[in-house]
Amino acid sequence: MKIRILAGAVALVSSLALSGCGLLPGADADRSTVTVWLMKGSASQGFLDRFTASYEAEHPTVRLEFVLQEWGGIGPKVLKALDSDDAPAVIEVGNTQVAQYAESGGLRDLTLESLRDLGGEDWLPGLAEPGRINGAQYGIPWYAANRVVIYHKDLFAQAGITEIPTTRDAWLDTTERLDTAGRQGIYLAGQNWYVLAGFIWDEGGELAEDRGGDWRGALHSPAALRGMDFYRTLQGLGDGPKDADEQTPPETDVFAGGSVAQIISVPGSAALIEQQNPELRGKLGYFPIPGKSARKPGAVFTGGSDLIVPEGAERRSEGVEIVKALAGTKWQTELARAMSYVPNKPALAGVVEGQEGTSAMAAGATQGRATPGSPSWPAVEADNPIKPYMTAVLEGGDPAEEAKKASDRISAKLGTG
């Protein structure tokens, strides 16, 4: 899936392909070009330069060529490449896109490498699970990002709040204290379905369930309904619209007005807020979305990227080695620090210590999840029945009835209705 939640969080990357650097004249003569497709914005020019120099020094027969792609329209382009005999050796894909590509039969099974060389049993579940199809690991986790609570420190202080909430109950209490005349306890748009998904997962529910290959919408389960009820309660402690998502209007613009105490977004949104209102610089804090108990944070949707190796790539073996390097400890550390990402293993979270927003994101990522693993899930998001369901409930509709209608629409889009 395109990682919209990273907007504003990463630097732009040059659109030119990168080639070997730091080599003596004529040193390329015996090198073979290995092509890697990455998405624009995923890694800085500096990171790619450092990786290229280091990798080529360690692999004298390889000349790396990074070709940067746009997220828009990438799905058909990747599928076409997988069906060709000149596919790149490595392709970066959204973590929730792997099932769609695996269905084509064009991906190399990387299960052995994930267990033998990369410690795959320790990866973040929100990246690893969508890359694993029918027990085979096709997508290797590269980086992650997820939502946290961004809060206005001055408004917390004015309300006499000195402790950050670590449970849902404490969060509701805190938000209610903040929601007074002229101030919103939280700005939460009515159709922020990624946030709702986390609350549903916390309750043990699902957006859709796989019944032996027969995918069914599951918003009407008792657990999922409890998640929606918590969303309704929290959303009511502010003035977010019931019939729009977080981009209508942009929640960062609303927060920049100075009267909103909290939003749920990626840490990179703080830069957009401060750009809109420079007076808020130094006044923004971050904490993981609270869970039902203080033992662990709340579940969150994990956006991010996996790396895949096309089965038909001419330089397939070299591609596997590049994936192992990019997903290994050294370059995971470099990437996380350079781009303020969550690395692919919780054990590496300490590498972003001192980056308050990224640290909060890394803490939440331990409870990260991804959207349902059906190859047809993109069809659900294209005309998302979850959004009108949320609006209907927030405007007073019967939750069970509205959830059942939305579940039936999901089942139909997944081809099982």
Percent of the chain at pLDDT > 90 equals 89
Contact call for residues 287 and 111 (beta carbons, < 8 A): no
- Could you report the per-residue pLDDT of 252-262, keeping only the tens digit for each? 999 999 999 99
173 vs 212 pLDDT, higher one: 173
List 43's β-bridge partners, or say none.
none
Lookup: tokens for 351: 């590498």
- Could you report the per-residue pLDDT of 17-45, keeping only the tens digit for each? 333 333 344 455 578 999 999 999 999 99
Q: Is the pLDDT of residue 287 over 80?
A: yes
Region for residue 325 given its phi and psi (left: phi exceeds 0; alpha: psi -120 to 50; beta: otherwise): alpha
Contact call for residues 189 and 240 (beta carbons, < 8 A): yes
Class of residue 145 by CB neighbours under 10 A (exposed 0-12, middle 13-18, buried 19+): buried
d(CA 355, CA 344): 17
Confidence band, pLDDT 50/70/90 cuts, at residue 416 = low
Picking from 362, 330, 365, 337, the residue whose alpha carbon sits closest to that of residue 351 is 337
Q: Is the pLDDT of residue 9 over 70?
A: no
Residue tagged 């995971």 (tokens): 332
Picking from 357, 162, 152, the residue whose alpha carbon sits closest to that of residue 257 is 152
Q: Is the pLDDT of residue 349 over 90?
A: yes
Calculate the alpha carbon distances from 309 to 234, 235, 316, 328, 404 in Å. Answer: 43, 42, 7, 16, 39
Per-residue model confidence (pLDDT) at position 339: 95
Contact call for residues 261 and 178 (beta carbons, < 8 A): yes
Confidence band, pLDDT 50/70/90 cuts, at residue 4 = very low
Cis check: omega of the bond before 372, within 30 degrees of 0: no
- Could you report the per-residue pLDDT of 58-114, keeping only the tens digit for each? 999 999 999 999 999 999 999 999 999 899 999 999 999 999 999 999 999 999 999
Q: Is the pLDDT of residue 8 over 90?
A: no
- Could you report the per-residue pLDDT of 288-317, keeping only the tens digit for each? 999 999 999 999 999 999 999 999 999 999
d(CA 126, CA 218): 19
Judging by DSSP bridges, how do beta strands 148-152 and 208-210 pair with one another?
Answer: unpaired
Lookup: tokens for 55: 């990798």
Q: What is the pTM of this model?
A: 0.88
Picking from 76, 129, 13, the residue whose alpha carbon sits closest to that of residue 367 is 129
CA angle 208, 212, 216 (to 5 degrees): 25
- What sign does the CA torsion over 305, 130, 140, 150 have? positive
Residue tagged 């690893």 (tokens): 128
Class of residue 382 by CB neighbours under 10 A (exposed 0-12, middle 13-18, buried 19+): exposed
Q: Is the pLDDT of residue 2 over 60?
A: no
Picking from 327, 268, 280, the residue whose alpha carbon sits closest to that of residue 154 is 280
To 10 degrees, the CA torsion angle through 110, 116, 121, 122?
Answer: -110
Per-residue model confidence (pLDDT) at position 212: 86
Contacts of 160 (CB under 8 A, 6+ apart): 177
d(CA 138, CA 142): 13
Region for residue 369 given its phi and psi (left: phi exceeds 0; alpha: psi -120 to 50; beta: otherwise): beta
Contact call for residues 306 and 141 (beta carbons, < 8 A): yes
For 331, phi then psi, to 5°, come to: -85, -20
- What sign does the CA torsion over 220, 223, 224, 228 have? positive
